[in-house]
Amino acid sequence: MADIIVSENIQGPSMDALMSDFDVHWNDSLWNDGEALTQAVSEARAIIVRNQTQINEALLTQAPNLKVIARAGAGLDNVDTQAAMSRNVTVCYAPRENSLAVAELAMGFMLNLARFITLANNDTKEGNWNRSQFVGTELSGKTLGVVGFGRIGQMVARRAKAFDMKLCAFDKYLPHDTPVVHELDVEMLPLDEVLAASDYVSCHVPLMPDTRHLFGVEQFNQMKSGAVFINTSRGEVVDEMALVDALVSEHLRAAATDVRESEPPKPGGLADLENVLVTPHIGAFSEEAQCRVVDTVCADVRAVLTGASPSSVFAG
């Protein structure tokens, strides 16, 4: 049996090098076959995954030789980290490598919705020339509320600052005297005050028990009438039906989401609304970010299997 299991589509020069030096079983659909996955990990020392492979206690029980789980991305929602650590299995991930790509996508969503770029493109390609139908707004002078002011939230704020946007943020863990808060002139506020003050709200929180459905009916009602909501974090932090209602009622002008409560989502809902941009969880999918991610996880798997120290380890 293979030494290393790769259960999703993870490619690049670093993966090629790993495959030349170790016995690697690479199958990008293995995540969707529980029986085959269980058999594959039974003698493996490492498994490399994205976000679809579910690494739970039941699977780990069948992998007595496993030394390292490497998640090619920042989130660990699909990995039972406690079960892994209780078995002395190292959990590696790539917490920094895709941050820039996600931040740029969030900015792209804002620009698109401010200027109706997608709607104008589609209408013009149908043979129309409706200039007056697509009068947009400028980002300059508008207030961006960042919910979750960690690495990605700060990158979004820095780019929004370059567009002369005013900044406020909510983060229950970040001290208000953190240097970046003063550097970017960010007003740190309670969540309800951020929502009430912002023309654009961009969500960048991890999925945790206390962030599941962080945005629901109450939070969308607290947002400004005509505001725009953007989510590039995790789909489960939003009650999608509450968001649909806020958009259909026109309390919110528009929304953009790269992530969904269930992926892939069922047809309908947000995807049926003209004032919503939906993308298939591509925030991390720039060529540069994916190269950095694959380099990091492959290097860490190699390190663990050769007795060296990995660079990006989840510490609990």
The CA distance from 175 to 275, in Å, is 36
Amino acid sitting at position 185: D
Q: Which residues pair with 256 in a beta bridge?
A: 230, 277
Active site residue 138: no
Please name which of 106, 167, 172 lies closest in space to residue 142, comparing C-alpha atoms: 167
Active site residue 281: yes
Active site residue 260: no
Indicate the SS3 state at residue 50. coil
Cis amide bond preceding 209, omega within 30 = no
> DSSP string of 277-314?
EE-SS-TT--HHHHHHHHHHHHHHHHHHHTT---SSB-
**The dihedral sign for the CA sequence 177, 182, 187, 191:** negative
The CA distance from 72 to 10, in Å, is 8
Indicate the SS3 state at residue 64. coil
Among candidate residues 204, 234, 253, 302, the one labeled active-site is: 234
Report angle CA 99, 172, 162 to the nearest 5 degrees.
Answer: 45
Among candidate residues 138, 218, 250, 263, the one labeled active-site is: 263
The CA distance from 261 to 235, in Å, is 4
Catalytic residue ranges: 234, 263, 281
